[in-house]
Structure 1
């Protein structure tokens, strides 16, 4: 029903937001009546739409724009809140990923530093062993021992203790015991390996002295140099021997 500048509409209200949205819809329906629609039919439609109505309001025609503006403002506020929430979520996710990356980088750096320290420590230990072996070697040269036509096992072992040194002697002894049984003339019939440390071929020991066939001290010196060069020390050679039964 149109009366001057005012229209009457029945609207369903569930809070202020629902009231505003319903009011806009109702105003559109009533304007349609003023343009020539069937008033009775429209009244029935409005009654059906407002079946759950709890409040009647008169909305002045001049305030329709205000109602629409309020509705749009609410929509904008809702959209803004959603955008803020999404931005916050994205920021939190980015922060989480960055924290995870920082933690992984820190762990990798720590592992790298630990590996470097371990390598440095091992290198230092090897250098220490080499130094000790060099000192032992310089302390007892094969020429320091009187030449004899033959040597007992105890004499050969005494030579080895002086040449190799106490720190590595036991490892050296373990290898010699298994390779030759401390027999400086031991010969492997199948391979031709010779002497205390079973050099293959035996002629290799000539680098330590021309008397390599008959002088245990020369063989010991050559064997010590071989173990130091290839395994860093007699103990390194012994460790390899235990795993492979050769060195």
Structure 2
């Protein structure tokens, strides 16, 4: 990677900040939103099952319905769009859609690491079957949908937009108000648009405080 490209890429990450105040006059077209979500949907996921669903909230009535659910956070009204990121509790059901076309095309490397797609499918089903009473389905939904959410915010920044993630909302009320099927669980909201005010400056821990090399020392207390 060239030093110029590295600088540009790192600048994108460093300049992404969580915005709370948006220009209510700024609009995004459906195509522009779809392009952002296409990039978000290219995030990695376990078994490539793509454990996410996006609810794009753009219309004034839908925004007003979301406002009390989001505890009055006005960015859901002023932002060009608020994307509700949902996690898929039944992502195993995506396996056929993901792998079926490549299997029928004879592209066996699509399930690299497995002797056959039957073994791959069986492993996926076993993981989801044994976890019906455990946290596995929910953990997988949250893990993988969160990767897509982060990619969405970076895509927005790369397109000259601003974003703000929100977890302060009533997930149960969202499910009811927006008719979310029980297959999906709300993870977070991401408001996207043009900032009306700069993001509030925040600090970050130095890397020396956050990295542990090769495991924890049992004789050292880490705070």
Q: TM-score, normalised by structure 1?
A: 0.23
- Structure number with bigger Rg: 1
Which protein has greater RCO, CA pairs closer than 8 Å, 6+ apart? 2
By percentage of residues, which structure has more helix? 1
By percentage of residues, which structure has more strand? 2
Q: TM-score, normalised by structure 2?
A: 0.25
